[in-house]
Every structure is written in C-alpha cells, then in structure tokens.
Amino acid sequence: MTTTYAKKHVNLLNIIENKKINTQYFILKVQAPHDISNLLPGQFVNILVADTRHAFLRRPISIYDIHPQERTIDLLIQVVGEGTHLLSKLKAGEQVDILYPLGKSFSLLESGKIALLVGGGVGIAPLLFLAKKLYRKGVDVHILLGGKGSNNIIETKNFEKYGKVYIATEDGSQGERGLLTQHSILRKSDFDMIYSCGPDAMMRAVANIAAKHTIECEVSLENMMACGIGSCLCCVTPTKSGHQCVCSDGPVFNTKTLEWNK
C-alpha cells in the first residue's frame, strides 16, 4: 500500500506549553495554523534555533504526539547541547520556526497483530504516536523502555494508555537490571513486528534479535542532518539499494534493507 504524505510547511508556530519533565527532558507543545490529522508516526520536524550562531542548522525532532482537534504537536526533547538548551528556554506565547512534516513513517500493522516497540533514552520520542495509532487499529502493543537509570525512564503513564510497558535500567533502579537489549521480553518470538529507536548500537542489537526470531524490524535512524529534505546528502546511510537519505527516504527503515556493516 502506498502512503500519501502531507505537504511540507515552514511556519512560525505558537508555543502553547513548554513542560519540564526533569532536568534533561521537556515537551514543547506547538500549534499549527492548519489541519495536522495527516501527520504520521515516525515523521519529524526541523526546528530553527533562534538567537545563536552555534546552532545555525535546524534541529531534527520526532513527532511525539499530535492532537488534531487542537491542531497541536507535542515534541519530546532531551537537552544535549546548545540548540536543545535554547529550545528548553522557550515559553508559552512565543513562536518557533518549524519545517514539517518530514520523512517517512513506520508501517502500521493490521488489527490482531502483535507489536513490540523498543525505545532507548529519548529514542522513545517517535514511539508514543506509533503506539497510539497501532492501539487504535486493534494491534496488541507491547512497549519496552530503557535507559541508564530511572531519570531516563519517562512518560511511562502515557505509554501505558496504549499497551503493556516493560522497563530496563542499567543501574537496576527501575524494571529489570541491565541493557535494554537483555530484557526478558526480547526472548519472546511471537511478535509480528519490532519497532525501535535509540542509540545506534542498541538498534543494531535489537535488529539482530529480531532477525534471529525471523521477526520484521523497523528502526528510526538519527543520523546527523542539515536540510532535512534530501538536498544536502549529509545524512546518507548505506542500503541494499545504494546510499539513501535518512531524512527523506527514512528516517524509518526496515532493517533488512540496511547495509549496516558498510
């Protein structure tokens, strides 16, 4: 089935709320001037960080959730450098320059299928909207969230609305102790699809586990990006059909198509 993607916009969007989750994470809620109901899970936005010479490239951020009636988009952001630090300071009532929606979405399983969503750290960002869509289609949704410690395990209540949540922390402060890829749920082999986003090494390990159980696997890659629309070629990744732009051919790829070792 061919997916029809929404037209791209560059707009100054009104900030409705900037909610601090803890010292590392915040959720920026922005309002679009038009219908956003055709945005899809896995797509992302490219945000211009104002008032700095150090972060002149737009910052790519996944669509965490959408509320079509209010025309609002939620963006879950981790503060890692100057750009995200400046975004964390934005206030309700201000505006932010956003290019959206970008990239291709996850494929959505049909009713009755079983999905496992695996998110490491801020890699959970594209998975809430996916969990919501799958749940509403009648898919049995399981969600594995992982991080170094309980400070990195956020938004579990939101995920619990759409599926059964499992947790792994490296320091054992929440859920099973160990790497997310060592969690016991990954020993189960009856999933129809594993969807994953997080650090590169984690996604590769998840893809290997999926391949061992012959489960389809889609990952959302987070390569460095600039234009976000397939023009500058700075985000390419090797695939079985040659180098592809993560921003426009992805960021979601079926792991069978990737040539991760090249």
Ligand X SMILES: Cc1cc2nc3c(=O)[nH]c(=O)nc-3n(C[C@H](O)[C@H](O)[C@H](O)COP(=O)(O)OP(=O)(O)OC[C@H]3O[C@@H](n4cnc5c(N)ncnc54)[C@H](O)[C@@H]3O)c2cc1C
Distance from C-alpha of 83 to C-alpha of 52, rounded to nearest angstrom? 8
42 binds ligand X (CB under 6 A): no
Stretch touching ligand X by CB under 6 A, among 12-20, 56-64, 89-97, 180-188: 56-64
Per-residue DSSP letter, 104: B
What does the block give as tokens for 10? 């560059």
Between the CA of residue 222 and those of 50, 122, 164, 250, 253, what are the distances in Å?
22, 11, 26, 10, 11
* Binding residue for ligand X, selected from 122, 139, 219, 252, defined by CB under 6 A: 122
Cβ of residue 242: shortest distance to ligand FES, in angstroms?
Answer: 14
Taking CB within 5 to 8 Å according to partner kind, which of ligand X, ligand FES, none is near residue 245?
A: ligand FES
**From ligand FES, ligand X, none, interface partner of 232 (C-beta below 5 to 8 A by class):** ligand FES
Q: Closer CB to ligand X, residue 215 or residue 252?
A: 252
Contacts (Cβ under 8 Å, ≥6 apart) of 198: 118, 119, 120, 121, 123, 124, 146, 180
Using CB under 6 A, pick the residue from 18, 24, 72, 84 that binds ligand X: 84
Closest CA to 235 of 217, 254, 248: 248
| Stretch in the footprint of ligand X (CB under 6 A) among 14-22, 157-165, 219-227, 252-260 | 219-227
CA-based nearest residue to 110, from 147, 128, 88, 136: 136
Distance of closest approach, residue 60 Cβ to ligand FES, in angstroms: 8
What is the contact surface with ligand X in residues (CB under 6 A)? 44, 55, 57, 59-62, 76-78, 80-84, 122, 125, 222-225, 251
